[in-house]
Structure 1
Amino acid sequence: MSPNTTTSDLEARYGERYRWLLLLAVMVGTMASIMSSTIVNVAVPDMSRHFILGPSRAQWVSSGFMVAMTVSMLTTPWLLSRYGYRRTYAGAMWLLLVGGISGGLAGDYGLVLAARVAEGLAAGVVQPIPAIIILRTFHPSEQGRASGLFGMGVVLAPAIGPSIGGILVDLFGWRSIFFMVVPFCLASLWMARKFVPSTAPSGLAATRNGASLDWRGLLLASVGTLCLLNGMVQLRSGSLPVAGSLLGAAVLALVAFIAWQRYLARHHGAPLMDLALFGYRQFSMGSIVAVIYGTALFGSTYLLPVYMQVGLKLSASYVGAILLPAGLVLAATIAFVGRLADKQPTYLLVSIGLALLACSFALMTTIGLGTAIWVLVAWAVLGRIGLGFILPSLNLGAMRPLDKALIPQGSSAINFLRMLGGATGVSLCGIVLEWRLAAHGDSFENPLTSPERLMAFNESFLMLAGLCALALVAAWQLRTEKT
């Protein structure tokens, strides 16, 4: 196929179904990147034994990936402008493939970490691309359905992946986890060659084709992200002076980043994040929702399994069986809400989702040691229904008002902010939980559970419910102004 194939060429070849084939192509790659981010957690104990690692060193298998993915999201608009859609997407898939194979074959922990960072860089570049394609390729009346279909496929990866990963680790060891992404990467590379255009899907010309990457901005964003995440980890471990220094450095890096982006914009440079995005009210409010939503989503992903195992004393396999129906309900809800998003205001759908999520967290406080399991399943399912309302609606509500030339920047920025919120959410939940455990005279060292321990978990869930209620205020501002 010609290296300069445009959307028009591909539409002429494949007809009306082409935009759905394009969506499927990027969905497979995104599923691979999301799977690589979540599935490795089941392999950490086996990997720790193999390399004789302590908890802090083992944690970098996940943290290194998360930092690399979060920061590399900011480079996606420049890469798309500089190298085109097909080369950028295929390049990221090649990097993910090489990372998976290298990690699976590595005989040294340093090589495993390098492979995880490579996978994180690839995952970060890929994840903003689907939203750009949906907003540029699909008619507004189809964008919700496209978001729903894409979201349903992507959510199934983390819902099913860990269960399959656990079986693979038991049968073949931790190396098999890295190889799981290989077939997905190969399929996505084949589909990219057939369906992903070399130019922007909307036919818009690249606006920054000759500009160089904003390396200073990228360095400031990287330093700020690293300091923030490590500061939260130190805060959790009780090293207050170190935590304060790191969090202070993160604030300084943020201030310097904003100042540098403004300077580039004033002098006709190419900033890593175009701050003109935040001149759109809906995008600004959507960004606030994205940060809080990411915090609640990732925080609850950490808190729920710990609650079930440490608080309610359920086995790991039992916890997996409880959470699997919730994951399947989430996938079905996303598909349903995607269709609603073509007809109903997105701010209303996001608000309903946040309200359901807040109710789910609040209702967790009604569960005791003698409560029937079906009640726990019901509240978990209610929360996943709430997530299903938010996922296909938030990006559409925040980015539809943007000028088409700003859509790549918007997708990159809102994904970055959501992941930043998510990365801090896990530490935040850990900090609040350990604080409340200590306040109730308990700790994780105690093998027995108690009503006091459940009270500490309940207070952590109420904190998440409060965050969702706070996000509701911003979500209501996603509505378009009447003219």
Structure 2
Amino acid sequence: MSDPSSIAALRERHGPRYRWLLLISVMVGTMASIMSSTVVNVAIPGMSHYFTLDQGRAQWVSSGFMVAMTVSMLTTPWLLARYGYRRTYVGTMVLLMAGGLAGGLAAHFPVVLAARVAEGLAAGVVQPIPAIIMLRAFEPHEQGRASGLFGMGVVLAPALGPSIGGVLVDWFGWRSIFFMVVPFCLGSIWLAYRYVPTSAPGGASAQSQGPRLDWRGLLLGSVGTLCLLNGLVEVRGGNPALAAALLLGALAALAATILWLRHARRTGREALINLDLFAYRTYTYGSLVAFIYGIALFGSTYLLPVYMQLALQLPASHVGTILLPSGIVLAITIGIAGRLTTRLPTYVMVSGGLVLLAASFALMPTVGLQTGLWVLVAWAILGRIGLGFILPSLNLGAMRPLDKALIPQGASAINFLRMLGGATGVSLCAIVLEWRLAVHGDALTRPGTSVARLAAFNESFLLLAAICGLAVIAAWRLRDPPGHVPVEE
């Protein structure tokens, strides 16, 4: 007797619309995970006051989430093969909801930190799943529309989350922020039991005694990630010896990881990342673009609010209002760009988007204390239009040439590299900003702003423009000749 929850049975029961119902089901959970990553920043001031935290300890609420999310992305292919789509997805939503409830009810800061790590682990596992579904459940001519629809929904979470979160903090306090994910998690679990199949990618049955997790690769990857991110923090903290030791540790962990993955491939063991992925030139260039793009994107999300408040002297309440139009434009652009992905080559979409993003950073020095706010809004919108062209096309374009068996690992690895770039970008922007402030004889601790402070921020934005320029070079190679086959190493 066939499994009524297999993908074939669900497709037969719901007809042609099933693939869209499946996409919406995982979109709700992904929105919850993204919201949990962004909206908590609104609660940090209130939480810091309640637990009497300094800035360094308070920052771990965000950093702990990001480290956990980055590392756990690498486990998604193994979890899907071992437990199937539904059990993996529902498990992540239960963990995310438990983290939200524990964080909101916590009486001690270590419990809050543990709850954020749990939320990060869940968010990391769930984020590659939609890309796997889009490439497997949708025909190539439908993948652009699916990516556009998914992107529009997911963009609404970080666009609206901080605004809603600010209201909740004012009315109910910082604890209410943690409870925001609960209704999304409950809705996603209900949808999962209706539309998400129990099978593994490719329609195969999940194997409870299936492949073992490559714990050696996961351990090496985790150590390398922690060394890199903590090393960058120490560069900011002013301990050169410790920073150098941690960064050298990150390089050593990277080398050890590559050696282990090569050994695993030679001996036929299950590896955390299948190096055959990088035999596809398009995927290799796409991964490089994802890493550099992550640096620019997440670096700018850190830099822009700080710039508006500490360089332009705008009230905190104005920051969300100024960025809201660009968020709306981003959602609209993603919908349009999703339809264009089947008409325009990937390298044109991604390179064009990166050029617009670079232009928005390069134009930021035209904003001054006497400049109308509409100029700042215009440059923010320009950058979000660029993002709108990149988001639906980068992952799909990079993974489309992959053999179907490699798609789960491809989605996991490219998301990991983007998030690793993002975590690096936040620290890199902070380091460069502090360096340029010192060169110009200013510091963010001083009251008021100055020409020197504006110059330091402008130079940081120009760095982001240059980083986007590097990504354009790699993005221009995101193409395959007709009849492409993977190259051998």
Superposed, 1:357-368 pairs within 5 Å as: 357-368=357-368
In structure 1, the partner of 2:105 is 105
Residues 144-188 of structure 1: per-residue CA shift (max 9 Å, x gap): 110010011001100100111011111111110110000000000
CA RMSD of aligned residues (A): 1.3
How far apart in 2 are the matches of 1:401 and 1:172? Answer: 49
Contact 1:141-1:343 within 8 A present in 2 as well: no
In structure 2, the partner of 1:186 is 186
What amino acid sits opposite 1:162 in the alignment? P
Q: CA deviation at 1:205?
A: 6.3
SS in 1 for 2:96: helix
Is the deviation greater in 49-58 or in 18-27? Answer: 49-58
In structure 2, the partner of 1:355 is 355
Contact 1:285-1:477 within 8 A present in 2 as well: yes
Superposed, 1:53-452 pairs within 5 Å as: 53-200=53-200, 202-204=202-204, 210-452=210-452
What amino acid sits opposite 1:228 in the alignment? L
Residues 204-250 of structure 1: per-residue CA shift (max 9 Å, x gap): 56799622101111111111111111101110121111110111101
What amino acid sits opposite 2:318 in the alignment? Y
Contact 1:134-1:146 within 8 A present in 2 as well: yes
Q: CA deviation at 1:382?
A: 0.2
Contact 1:299-1:425 within 8 A present in 2 as well: yes
In structure 2, the partner of 1:30 is 30
Q: CA deviation at 1:254?
A: 0.7
Residues 311-350 of structure 1: per-residue CA shift (max 9 Å, x gap): 1111111111000111111111001100001221111100
Q: CA deviation at 1:203?
A: 2.4
Q: CA deviation at 1:115?
A: 0.7
How far apart in 2 are the matches of 1:77 and 1:164? Answer: 34
What amino acid sits opposite 1:412 in the alignment? S
How far apart in 2 are the matches of 1:48 and 1:3? Answer: 50
> Given the superposition, is the C-alpha separation of residues 438 and 142 from structure 1 closer, same or farther in structure 2, using an over 3 Å criterion?
same
Q: CA deviation at 1:450?
A: 1.4
How far apart in 1 are the matches of 2:201 and 2:277? Answer: 21
How far apart in 2 are the matches of 1:4 and 1:279? Answer: 38
How far apart in 1 are the matches of 2:461 and 2:316? Answer: 20
How far apart in 2 are the matches of 1:207 and 1:109? Answer: 39
In structure 1, the partner of 2:487 is none
How far apart in 2 are the matches of 1:386 and 1:217? Answer: 35
How far apart in 2 are the matches of 1:469 and 1:335? Answer: 25
Contact 1:29-1:185 within 8 A present in 2 as well: yes
Contact 1:137-1:202 within 8 A present in 2 as well: no
Contact 1:75-1:272 within 8 A present in 2 as well: yes
How far apart in 2 are the matches of 1:206 and 1:285? Answer: 32
How far apart in 1 are the matches of 2:42 and 2:118? Answer: 20
What amino acid sits opposite 2:353 in the alignment? G
In structure 2, the partner of 1:479 is 479
How far apart in 2 are the matches of 1:194 and 1:207? Answer: 21
Contact 1:220-1:257 within 8 A present in 2 as well: yes
What amino acid sits opposite 2:407 in the alignment? I
Contact 1:227-1:249 within 8 A present in 2 as well: yes
Q: CA deviation at 1:482?
A: 4.0
How far apart in 2 are the matches of 1:335 and 1:207? Answer: 37
What amino acid sits opposite 1:65 in the alignment? F
In structure 2, the partner of 1:43 is 43
Contact 2:83-2:208 within 8 A present in 1 as well: no
Is the deviation greater in 101-110 or in 399-408? Answer: 101-110
SS in 2 for 1:477: coil
Can you give the 5+ residue segments of structure 1 that lack an aligned partner in the other structure?
none
Contact 2:83-2:206 within 8 A present in 1 as well: no
Q: CA deviation at 1:91?
A: 0.5
Residues 241-280 of structure 1: per-residue CA shift (max 9 Å, x gap): 1110111101111111111111111111100011111110
What amino acid sits opposite 2:234 in the alignment? Q
Contact 1:137-1:201 within 8 A present in 2 as well: no
Is the deviation greater in 208-217 or in 125-134? Answer: 208-217
Contact 1:311-1:454 within 8 A present in 2 as well: yes
How far apart in 2 are the matches of 1:469 and 1:339? Answer: 26
Q: CA deviation at 1:4?
A: 6.3
SS in 2 for 1:197: coil
Residues 53-84 of structure 1: per-residue CA shift (max 9 Å, x gap): 11111111111111110000000000000001
How far apart in 2 are the matches of 1:204 and 1:461? Answer: 48
Number of equivalent positions = 482
Q: CA deviation at 1:202?
A: 3.9
How far apart in 1 are the matches of 2:181 and 2:399? Answer: 30
How far apart in 2 are the matches of 1:381 and 1:234? Answer: 34
Residues 31-69 of structure 1: per-residue CA shift (max 9 Å, x gap): 000000111001001001111111111111111111110
What amino acid sits opposite 1:111 in the alignment? V
TM-score scaled by structure 2?
0.97
Does 2:26 align with 1:14?
no
> Given the superposition, is the C-alpha separation of residues 94 and 76 from structure 1 closer, same or farther in structure 2, using an over 3 Å criterion?
same
In structure 2, the partner of 1:469 is 469
What amino acid sits opposite 2:186 in the alignment? L
